[in-house]
Every structure is written in structure tokens, then in C-alpha cells.
Amino acid sequence: MDDSRLARKILNFDFSDDEKLVRDQAARFLNEQCDRRVARRVLEGEQPYAVQAWKGLGEMGLLATTIPEAYGGADAGYPALCLIAEQLGAHVAATPFSSSVYLATEAILMSGCDEQKQAWLPKLATGEMIGTLAVVEGRGVLTAESIGAQVANGALTGKKLIVPDGTIADTAIVLARGNEGLELCVADLSHDSVARDVVETVDPTRNSATISFNATPVEPLGDGDGWQTLQRIYDRAAVLFAFEQIGGAQSALDMAVAYAQERFAFGRPIGSFQALKHMMADMYVALKLAESNCYYAAWALASDAEDLPLAAATARVSATQAYQLCSRDNIQVHGGMGFTWEFDCHLYYRRSNYLALQLGGLTEWENKLVDALPVGLVA
């Protein structure tokens, strides 16, 4: 395909009717089974995550969106998964979807042998098994040199910090140092040699944990460079996290607009005041910029495009900025009431800050964006 035809194809990108149907089904289910009331129950400690909603997501086949049919999946493609992620963000869903689907499932799809895929993917597809990715070991920017966990003779020793959904996951894909350098391996988190401690974060609706491995039996996943594989996993997951972020940003903006229309001061709706108009206009512009970048990233992900790292970083940076802006200014539009426990503004504010730190913080992704730019575009 020549460059001009490719450019037109990208510029005209849209989701198919089937993909939009999946989105609408996900939205209806989440409205009924995993709305903000469910998130509040998890936040208040009534349950570790939205257990019934998780079961329903598995029964609907949404956990299996990108898993091939040969392994019990729906094989509906990455664009459909992007739209599901957007709805999860819009409803601040309190489930381990991102850890199990964006990270663990993707790692196995990318690196697992056929036997491993047959063993684990069908369970991940139904939600019978919850997976996660355990990488971070310290503060600061993640580097290959910062990984100290060791694998020797099929046994893993080390500690991983702030593992997403770490106390509720059944299986973890772990980055560790082996004889040939960094490698990915699979650990059963129910083994007696594994110790897990809950980590409190800004968003208690999303579980996090410190996991210690003490000569835990593990199975190698793939035979390539574990660090390079991790970067590929992160690039692909970044697109999905970005869609989750724009879904949350849209809901935060919708909340702000609805309140500004119904709340009166001095005999007028507060949305008629210039200061709030400008604030919500800024929210809208940031969201639409992020949405545009996410659409291109969805195309790059589905096409496995050469510039996926650039597209992923661009989407991730703009979506993080948009969600944090929209969730913060949503509170401001609500005024004093926006700071109270009774209003739902804080659910989105918490989630925006939690998601901003997944896969590395904003600065790390800004640096990745600069590194991914073609030579000659960086001053």
C-alpha cells in the first residue's frame, strides 16, 4: 500500500459495527453489575473486588476478547478490547481486568509455547484464573539493572513491590534474572513459598500487594530476552490503559457538565459562569486530543504497526494528562461538595492517579515518547 493510501486509511480509522456492539454490551452489563455503587462497596472494604461482575465478564466472553478460539477465546481482536477498556474506565470498574487481560494474558499470548497456552489461556478466558505481572522492586525509574530477583534451577527468590491485584491473583508472570540474563517466568501464587502483603494505595478499589518468593517453583515463559519482551508487553498494555483512562475522563467530564447545568447560584446555573465554561472547555479539549491519539494507537495495536511504541507512548501521555485534569477539575466544578465522601468525584480522582502510575509514571512515558520519535524530530 502506498503512503497516501495508508495515510487515508489511518485518518479514516473507526471501529466496526461488531466492535461497537461489543462496546454497547459491555456498557449495559457494567451499568447493571459494576457501576459506581459496586466500586463504593469495594472501597469500603465489603469485598476485595467486584466478584460477581468478574464472573459475569468471564461468562460474556469479555475476558477472552483477544484469545484465539483454539485456546477457549473469542478472538474478537484488539479494537474490541480497546472499547471494553474504555467502558471499564467509564464505570471505574473494581475488577482485576487490566492485570489479568492486558498484562498476564498478553504475556502468555506473546511468549508462551502451545502447551502453556493450552494450560493457562482457557482459565484466564473464563476468569477461573486471575493473572498479574510482577516486575517492580524499588523506587525510581524501572531499568534492567534494577531487577534483583533470581531464578536458579527452576526456583525463584526475590521480592516484587506494588504488584497490581497481587493478593487476589492466582498466577504471576515474573521478571527475574536467570543464567542468560533477564527472563519471564510463571509462578503459582498459592504455593507455600509465596508471601503476600496488601499495599495501601490512593485507590483501594484496585488491589495491590508486595509479593515475596522464597525458592518458589517457576516455569520459564519464552526463551527470548525478558527485558525486550517486557517492553513489548508494556507498549501493548499502554494502549489499553489509555483507553481506560479516556473512558474515566469522559465520565468525569460528563459529571461536571451535568452538575454545572443543574446547580444554581445567584439565580443562574453555574455552568453559565465564564470561569467554569473555560475549565470545562479545557477538559473537553484535553479529552479529545487524547481520544484522537488513542484511536491511532488502537489502529497501530491491531495492525502491529512498526510505530506502535510511538503510538502507545503518545496515547499514554495524553490520556494520563486528560484523565488527571478531568478528574481534578470535576471536583472543582462541584465546589465544596466535590470534596465530600458522598459525591462520587473522588472515585475518578483516585482511579486517575492509580492508573497514572501503572507501567511507570508519566515522566517515564514522556521519555519513551521522545525516544520513539523519528530521528530529526527531536531538537
Tell me the pLDDT tens digit for each residue of 278-289.
999 999 999 999
Supply the pTM of this predicted model.
Answer: 0.94
Report the candidate in 215, 207, 232 with the shortest Cα–Cα distance to residue 130. 207
Cα separation of 239 and 16, whole Å? 18
Cα separation of 178 and 190, whole Å? 23
Cα torsion at 255, 358, 201, 59 (round to 10°)?
A: 70
Phi and psi torsions of 98, nearest 5°: -65, -40
Q: pLDDT value at position 377?
A: 60
Q: Per-residue pLDDT averaged across 361-376, rounded? A: 89
Which band of pLDDT confidence, cut at 50, 70 and 90, is reported for residue 263? confident
Q: pLDDT value at position 40?
A: 95
Ranges of H-type helices in the chain: 3-11, 17-33, 36-43, 51-59, 78-90, 97, 106-111, 114-126, 226-262, 274-303, 308-333, 345-356, 362-372
Instruction: Give me the domains of the chain, ranges plus CATH numbers.
Output: 3-130 (1.10.540.10), 132-224 (2.40.110.10), 228-372 (1.20.140.10)
Which band of pLDDT confidence, cut at 50, 70 and 90, is reported for residue 153? very high
Report the candidate in 309, 316, 305 with the shortest Cα–Cα distance to residue 358. 316
Cα separation of 99 and 132, whole Å? 5
Q: What is the mean pLDDT of the chain?
A: 92
Q: Which three cell numbers stand for residue 243?
A: 483507553
Q: Quick check: 9 pLDDT over 80?
A: no
Residues facing residue 184 across a β-bridge: 175, 221
Give the C-alpha distances (Å, rounded to integers) separating 179 from 57, 111, 154, 184: 40, 19, 11, 12
Instruction: Please tell me what DSSP assigns to residue 374.
Output: P
Cα separation of 302 and 67, whole Å? 13
Report the candidate in 187, 240, 177 with the shortest Cα–Cα distance to residue 213. 187
Q: Largest Cα–Cα distance in the chain?
A: 74
Cα separation of 58 and 66, whole Å? 13
All residues at 6 or more sequence positions from 84 whose CB lies less than 8 Å from its CB, including other chains: 22, 23, 26, 62, 65
Which band of pLDDT confidence, cut at 50, 70 and 90, is reported for residue 10? low
